Amino acid sequence: MTKLTIVAFDGTANELEVANGSTVMENAVRNSIPGIEAECGGACACATCHVYVDEKWTEIVGPPEAMEEDMLDFAYDVRPTSRLSCQIKMSDALDGLVVHVPERQG
């Protein structure tokens, strides 16, 4: 199992044990983390699963691909650390990943 921390907008850190191959969005929804709506169910077609990758992790997680970057245009308060959480797949390399939920979705 891999560790994933999703920090809600109110600062609550939700520390989860997750399976490799699952996405950050799936784990957020499964654990009812507030602020991740994921309306399209992970198809990279809604931008309501927007998160900020913690700065310690941005390089390891890497930048969004072109399709995700296009969708991020629809997200609220996009920053250089913004990603769509349905496009981040957990793996050993991401063990300990921390992401932050924005104030609201787009």
Q: Pick the closer one to ligand FES by CB: 7 or 86.
A: 86
Alpha-carbon span 72 to 56, nearest angstrom:
21
Could you tell me the smallest distance in angstroms from the CB atom of residue 19 to ligand FES? 18
In sequence order, which residues have a C-beta less than 8 Å from that of residue 31 and are 6 or more positions away? 6, 14, 16
- Torsion angles phi and psi, residue 10, rounded to 5: -80, 5
106 lines the binding site for ligand FES (CB under 6 A): no
Q: Pick the closer one to ligand FES by CB: 11 or 94.
A: 94
Q: Which residues are at the interface with ligand FES (CB under 6 A)?
A: 25, 38-40, 42-49, 71, 84, 86
